Structure 1
Amino acid sequence: MNHRVAVRARHFSNKLKDEARFFRSWVENPLKTGAVSPSGPALSKLMAREAELDREGPVVELGPGTGVVTKALVARGINPARLVAVEYNPDFCVLLHRRFPDIHVVRGDAYALKTTLKDVAPGSLASMISSLPLFTRPPAERRALLRDALDLLQPGAPFIQFSYALVPPVPAISGEFTVERSPWVLMNLPPARVWIYRKA
């Protein structure tokens, strides 16, 4: 019983520390972090569920932060050796290395994706999962990021993005890419939804 209480206390303590890290990162640079706390478990699981496990090739996560979605991806059954995490914040990079020693952490700018992932061949990625705060960027930058991501993904492979907004971060462009939306994840604070993009 004491062991179980100790494990729960440690989990709660780690969660509080992650909240503090996220909040500090947001205060220091709100346009880079975009959220004051990590995604909740329900949202993280939904994002992980949209990743396509049957496809071969790397799975890239953009803006993993403290690793809540990373944890959901590993729990879903994705081999950590397949995961590539692109994180801008150096403190989060250190934390990700410690928590997930088998994943490949790349410190870089996701909005310069083809430079940050210069060794990734076009059309080779199985899925891409993004927790980037896209609405903090102008529409042209969002479209450029999505186009670069879809060029790196296999034909039909998903680019998975969450947001708190009623509208997609990047509207679909006929003949170029499509977008599907999930129901609202009401268990997340604030409620969020997941948008799935695919090259047309």
Structure 2
Amino acid sequence: MDSLQGQLLVASPTLTDPNFARAVVAIANHDEDGALGIVLNRPSETEVAEAVPELEDVVDSAEVVFVGGPVQPASIVVLAEFENPAEAAFLVVGGIGLVSERTGLERLDIVTARRRVFAGYAGWGPGQLEAELEREDWIVDPAHPEDVFAAEPVDLWGRVLDRKGGQFRLLARMPTDPSVN
């Protein structure tokens, strides 16, 4: 099994699970025990300052919490661009990875250049992600640093498919509900 760490999972248009419809998931860890990822393109309407006041000073003002996935939605996950990638719990792409407890909130703005806050994460048990890939639920593409911190995250699904090229460009332009076309 090849690890998908550092890859994006782009939901196939046929994936209808509301947790993942048109989702773009960055894979932070993938091994024989399963996989862990963060949905990148689901901003909530809740500001970080309101939901997690202790993180208010380490994100841009008015930054919102993103819905990182259906697993443990009450837990907070922070993706950050580390000055020293060894500080990350898991790396997603380049120096961007998950903040670990050892980093500490008091050091977060010193050891990282930028941060994004997520509620929950996406997780798969052993063999589960492989089965979903076999069913073609996901399209795999390498993660780029700008994917994690996209200025327009709701457009990420179409942008990733578009850059993949070929037949995927056609999918990128597919309406959410093809019957209204």
Normalised TM-score (structure 2): 0.25
Which structure dedicates a bigger proportion of its chain to helix?
1
Normalised TM-score (structure 1): 0.23
Query: Relative CO higher for 1 or 2, CA cutoff 8 Å, sep ≥ 6?
Result: 2
